[in-house]
Amino acid sequence: MAQAYDGITAVVTPLDDAGLQRPTRCRGWLVADLLYHVLCDAQRALVALASPAPGPADVDDVSYWRAFAPGDDAGARHAWWARRSAAAFDRPTGVVRLWADTAPAAVRAATSADPGGYVTTQGHVLRVPHLLATLTTEAVIHHLDLVVDLPDAPRPAADPTRVAVTTMDGLVSDDAVRPAGWDDHDYLLKAAGRVPLTDRDRLELGEAAGWFPLLG
């Protein structure tokens, strides 16, 4: 999670107001809008890590994602809310400053959390490591979303990318074999519905192509 959040910080910190208004892979969101959404995740992490639960967990780092159907109305409403919230800042760089304060605090809270404990978030109970894996997965995918119009920006680091890939592997059919031409980032973008499957992809995936996208 620390590496995932540091990766996002490395993307947005050098950007001026114009750079923060470049498009992303998320429909209707500029870089500042998407950063605000990830900022909300960091804030949610702080709340969750301060909200211990007795357990047991009702979801893990994979099954947590099955509640989020691609293209549902709740997602569309949140997208509009996040865009309006980000626009309330006087300048897009204001979102970066708040992110720079909040993300390290969330990481410190994660470092101090009991790895054997349970927490609540979004109506679910998760083990602490599984919560951190969900946050890492989301940060990595949104990092890839952020850089679509920023060709010189750094890409997600290897360790958090592996966490996200493991999540996707858990969501897809056990019979699925990743097409040979996909690297980890290709896999994540296609699994998250950011890049459509090609005819060749569908041929190589076979029936498993029907599982894509794996999340919205």
Domain map (residue ranges) of the chain: 2-158
CB proximity list for 81: less than 8 A, separation 6 or greater: none
Task: State the CB neighbour count (10 A cutoff) for residue 145.
Answer: 20
Give pLDDT, residue 71. Answer: 56
Q: E strands, 61-133, where?
A: 118-121, 124-127
CATH classification number, 2-158, choose in 1.10.620.20, 1.10.540.10, 3.30.70.1520, 1.20.120.450: 1.20.120.450
For the chain, what is the radius of gyration of the CA atoms?
Answer: 17
Structure tokens at 124: 């679910």
How far is it, in rounded angstroms, from Cα 163 to Cα 140? 9
Q: E strands, the chain, where?
A: 52-53, 118-121, 124-127
How far is it, in rounded angstroms, from Cα 48 to Cα 97? 22
How far is it, in rounded angstroms, from Cα 109 to Cα 45? 8
Structure tokens at 12: 């947005």
- pLDDT tens, the chain, 216 aa long: 999 999 999 999 999 999 999 999 998 999 999 999 999 999 999 999 999 999 899 999 999 998 775 555 777 788 888 889 999 999 999 999 999 999 999 999 999 999 999 999 999 999 999 999 999 999 999 999 999 999 999 999 999 999 999 999 999 977 788 898 999 999 999 999 999 999 999 999 999 999 999 986
